[in-house]
Structure 1
Amino acid sequence: MWIKSGLIPLLVSYIVALVLMVMPMPAFMEPWRPDWLSLVIIYWVMALPHRVGMGSVLVLGLVADILMGSVFGIYATALLIMAYPAIRHFQRIRNYSFTQQALVVAILVMVKRIIVYELEHVLNDAVFQLAYLYPVISSAIAWPWVYLILRKYRRHYLVR
């Protein structure tokens, strides 16, 4: 029943994104880690706006807060603010080319990263470093592949 409804494939993609968020990487690659959770959220919000909304994003943000060990609500707030324009304008973004979509994704990820930094700065005196914005570039580069892989995954498991 859950596979037919598409719940299991959605949950699996969220879990994979959360694992990729914390998976160890070589030290020289760590600053360039794409923002996997944001990419997956943006994809599902555009592909299934009637099933994946602000409630899903809130729950994923709270799970990310726990996983990253941050103050409860930082990632949830940032992901909600990032996801709102994607949910609001999903029809328009869907019709963009991959290059235009990658630019929109880069802007959304940058907004999310800046919000997380500002909240961490206010609450924990975080210091800004330029490397903090490297995931914006790597996420934009990864977007076409994430989009194509998740679209094939969605069609294979008939997630609607």
Structure 2
Amino acid sequence: MAENKQVILTYEGIKKIEEELEYLKTVKRKEVAQKIKTAISYGDLSENSEYDEAKNEQAFVEGRIATLENMLKNAKVIDEEDIKTDVVSIGCIVRVRDLDYGDEMEFTIVGSAEADFKKMKISNEAPIGKGLMGKKVGDKVEIQVPDGTITYEILEIKRH
């Protein structure tokens, strides 16, 4: 089953998931329960859109809680000490130069559960992350992305 897939996380990622889980269980569940209670007080549930909306929100919250609990149950935590800097691996920060445009950028390679492109956290399963994995400083890497091909030169590999 896909539900038991190992989830690779950093300590930071574990902390974020635990915080979201705590919020959903302690705050959001109570808010949704109150919405349901209020909607029930309006009477006739068959035509009560507030009740339907609150029940849908409850289903979403419970589904998210189950997903987060499953992620934690199947988590493999990457220890800072285990992060290699001789090759690109999960948990490292890799500085690259785009050979077409000359731009330099830094990516943090993370497991798919922590990916956040806005924060330059790239999944090891995404095209760029997959293309960089296992490469060394000085390597030139051609990566197929939806827009075509990107060519990066790896300038530096480091830990946080």
User: TM > 0.5 between the two?
Assistant: no
Greater percentage in helix: 1
TM range (shorter): under 0.3
What is the TM-score of this pair, normalised by structure 2? Answer: 0.26
- Asked which structure has the greater RCO (Cα within 8 Å, sep 6+), the reply is 1
Structure with the higher strand share, 1 or 2: 2
TM-score, reference length from structure 1: 0.26
